[in-house]
Amino acid sequence: MIVDSHCHLFEMKNYTLSEEVYPVVVGYSHGSNKKVVEIARNGKTNKTTNPSHKYPYPIALGIAPQTALKELQDSERANETKLNEWVSFIKSNEPNAIGEVGLDYKWAQTKADVGKQMLVFNTMIEIADEMELPIVIHSRNNPNDNAADVPKNAIDKIIEMVEGRKFLMHFYSGNDEQAKRIFDMGGYVSIMGLRSKERRKVIEVVPMEKLLVESDCPYVGKAPEAAKDAVAYIAEVKNLDFEEVAAQTTKNAMKFFNFQI
């Protein structure tokens, strides 16, 4: 059994979950969060034994930075109403984690855009603190060197903002030096099956107890089964058995999201 720690099942049409992969269903925007709750509620297998959980599948709900840009306006009052709506929806559905939330400096074009992302991310961190939940982080640096209004490094800023909390870097795209800082702070890193020199170094430096696997389907992998590629990748880099990596990453996911299979 493999736990796909990050899949957007709300985007999957005509997909039936296989027995080999267990999903953590993740929101992306406000609209999709409703579907995430629906999917979790109607999950066919009821393997979650932890009675404190409301749904068959673990879920993460949050407002992603892309949504902050799309939905927020320049009027503070309008934003306050929107934020309150989001917060009460998330709270009432008792997620296992707050996410995916964070900073995406690839999509931010102006200082105001950065401000909107910051406002939403700070609010999400507040809910996580209040509900004592872990945080699933979406992070992307600014690839554009000459955009003076948008800082280059989102990951450093995020590390600073979530210090002292339980967090997971989903689709981690930072370097190995930042990965070291993340696990020194107690953070977790989620790996997908895409191969790159940088990612290989990250897998090398992060200890097995801090690694999770994901498909990020359907955006990156086609389906949750793609999380198997990530298991195979870690096994290859760390010179371990596939089964061993599958078991440890499953254990890590259950610990991070607080559920039992």
Q: Which residues bind Zn ion (CB under 5 A)?
A: 216
Residue number with CB closer to Zn ion (71 or 216) = 216
Residue number with CB closer to Zn ion (171 or 233) = 171
- Least Å distance between CB 91 and Zn ion? 21
- Least Å distance between CB 170 and Zn ion? 6
Torsion of CA 120, 255, 34, 192, to 10 degrees: 80
Residue number with CB closer to Zn ion (11 or 126) = 11
- Least Å distance between CB 120 and Zn ion? 16
Residue number with CB closer to Zn ion (5 or 248) = 5
Beta-carbon contacts of 247 under 8 Å, excluding residues fewer than 6 positions away, are: none
- Least Å distance between CB 221 and Zn ion? 11
What DSSP letter does each residue of 2-53 carry, written as one string? EEEEEE-GGG-SS----SSEEEEEE--SHHHHHHHHHHHHT-S------TT-
Burial of 235 (0-12, 13-18, 19+ CB in 10 A): middle
Kindly state the tokens that stand for 163. 């210090």
- Least Å distance between CB 146 and Zn ion? 28
Residue number with CB closer to Zn ion (9 or 245) = 9
Of 79, 1, 97, which is closest to residue 45 (Cα–Cα)?
Answer: 1
